[in-house]
Structure formats: C-alpha cells, structure tokens
Amino acid sequence: MYKLKINSILTDENDEKFFGNGPLYLLEGVRKYGSLSATAKAMNMSYSKAFRLIRRSEEALGFKLLESVSGGVKGGSSALSEKGLLFLSSYREYALANRIYGNTHLDDLFPCEIPDDAALILLASGKGKRFEENKLLYRLNGKPLISYLLDTLLPIKDSCIVSTIHEEVKQIGEKQGYRIAMHQDGSLSASIRDGLSLIKKDCAMIFVQADQPLLSLTSILRLIKAHRKDPGTVYRLSYDDKQASPILFPPQYYPELMKLKGEEGGSTLFKKDPKIVIGKTEALLPWELWDLDKKEELHYFEDMIRFLRKEDYDSL
C-alpha cells in the first residue's frame, strides 16, 4: 500500500520559497509555547534562524504573523496576530485538502494496466481553414502542434490510431510508433471510419481532436475508468459542467459510427437519438478542453505550455 505525500509550499513572484513546513511549525509552536524563542529551542533551531523565517514570510505576505510582547513577569512572549491566525488556519485546511485530493485519486496517478478494452482515434485531418494553414504542423513553442498530443499519449500508443490525410502528420506519427489510418477523403466521417477500421469492434472508442495540445493522459484514463464502471454510457470530458472532446462511445455504437457521411460526427448520433445517455468525466485541468481554431488564440497556448514546462522543472 502507498500514499502520496504533498508539501504545500508558497513562493513569491520570483519563485523563491517563503512558506512551508518550517514557518508552519514555528507558528504552531508559538501557539503552544507562547514565544518564538521557546519554539525555536523545542525545534533545535537557533532563534536567529526562526526569526528570519518568520520575517521572510511576513515580507512576502505583506502582514505581520506574530505580535511580540516585551518584558513582564515571564519576560518576552509572542502570539499570532489576527491575520496570522486566519492565515495559519486557512493554509492548514488548504494543505489538508491537497493531501486528501491527491490520495483520493491515486488510482488515476498509478494506473495498473495499459488499456486493451478501449481504442483512441486521433482525428488529425482538419484543413485549418480558420487558422489559414495546417495548424497541426504549426510550430508551437518549438515543435509541431500535433507532437504535444502524441507525446502525451505515447505510453498508450498501441491503443491509438492517428487518422489523417496529411503526409507530414503521418510521418510524425510513424516516427513515434503510432498506427496510421491514411485516407484521401478529408471529411470528418471518413476520418472516423478509417480510424475505426483498424480497431477491434468490441472496444470502447474514444475520439480525440488532434488540436488539443494540453490534453492529459490522466483524463483519457479517467474516461476509460468511467466506461468500465458503466459500459453502456457515452462519456464526454468536461470541466465545471462544460462538455467537450474527447468523447467515448461504447462498442455497440460501432455500426452507427461507420455509417456516418460527409461532415457528420459522433454528435449526429445524439441528434438522431435523444435518449442516448451522456455521462460527464471531469478533466484533470480546465485548459485540457481548449482546442486551437485561430491564430489569435496562439498566445494562450504558448503561455500555458511555458507555464506547464516551468512547473515541471520546478518540481524536479
């Protein structure tokens, strides 16, 4: 059995840490012992270091955490300020929520098997009319847009099909070991049919738009997990009740999906049969639902990719 240990650390605008377990234990100690010096002694820490840690936190937060009382029968003492007490309580609750959330979703973090009961169809035949060029090949922060999704799904690439009309997309996918459904008809229905033709008919089918570079593997695995619990329901990825792609269809919809024509997609089935039950699976992060349509939107994706990469490096 295992659990996830999460330390909630606060940093300033320069990404320098100013609050974590050290200052936290000092504040809790002041509540217990009544002074910073007594707390430092109990923690085998010099008073000067304890003072620096609290002062650094106060400077970053912009308010006093401790109030000092000089003299008296027992000498100097310390107590948490009103704002300090409020901050300490809120911080502890927030840190606890992080730990509870992380350990509640450990099965998402450590999936036990590569999915063999679901197949992903990456719809990568878009012409990018509103983007004014093939957006899947647009170099976003140094690499083609399509590469972000392919990199994310690489651990389950054997369960994926890249359905495309673009030779360049085919080459990128093949280089990473993906199976390719190459076709001439650039319609949405053809992209769906040709992708489906390469999978087992008893698999759940997950249709993924290739212009969602911020999609996470965890959210895909959540869709599959939801399907296993309720195999008769269609599932859509969502965040705060907003539904988007990817969409998972149970195996029984295979024949109907193969009959789609022209620009008909999976949503056509919902219009034909309003009784279809659609479940929602919460995405790990809100920006996973973003799809790139216009060049004016590029800066949102560029900024987020830089932010995510920086967060990755900071956690090492």
Alpha-carbon span 167 to 171, nearest angstrom: 6
**Is position 28 within any domain?**
yes
**Is position 252 within any domain?**
yes
Do 246 and 169 share a structural domain?
A: yes
Question: What does the angle CA 96 – CA 289 – CA 270 come to, to the nearest 5 degrees?
Answer: 120
Residue pLDDT, tens place only, 92-105: 988 888 888 878 77
**Is position 89 within any domain?**
yes
Do 144 and 269 share a structural domain?
A: yes
Do 84 and 129 share a structural domain?
A: no
Final residue before a domain boundary, out of 83, 104, 125: 104
Q: Please list the helix, strand and coil fractions of the chain in percent, rounded to the nearest 5, in that order.
A: 45, 20, 35
Q: Is the pLDDT of residue 75 over 70?
A: no
Do 258 and 212 share a structural domain?
A: yes
* Domain region containing 65: 10-104
Q: What is the pLDDT of residue 110?
A: 67
Do 285 and 224 share a structural domain?
A: yes
Instruction: List the CATH number of the domain containing 100.
Output: 1.10.10.10
**Percentage of the chain with pLDDT > 90?**
65
Do 270 and 153 share a structural domain?
A: yes
Using pLDDT thresholds of 50, 70 and 90, give the confidence band for residue 315: very low
pTM of the predicted model as reported, rounded to 2 decimal places: 0.77
Q: What is the mean pLDDT of residues 164-169?
A: 95
Residue pLDDT, tens place only, 18-36: 999 999 999 999 999 999 9
Q: What residues contact residue 303 under an 8 Å CB cut-off, 6+ apart? A: none
- Which position has the higher pLDDT, 314 or 283? 283
Do 90 and 135 share a structural domain?
A: no
Q: What is the pLDDT of residue 115?
A: 80
Q: Is the pLDDT of residue 242 over 80?
A: yes
Do 208 and 155 share a structural domain?
A: yes
Q: How many structural domains compose the chain? A: 2
Q: What is the pLDDT of residue 314?
A: 45
**Is position 2 within any domain?**
no
Do 133 and 79 share a structural domain?
A: no
Q: What is the pLDDT of residue 316?
A: 33
Q: Mean pLDDT, the chain, as a whole number?
A: 88
Using pLDDT thresholds of 50, 70 and 90, give the confidence band for residue 313: very low
Final residue before a domain boundary, out of 80, 104, 128: 104
Final residue before a domain boundary, out of 104, 121, 142: 104
Alpha-carbon span 106 to 110, nearest angstrom: 6
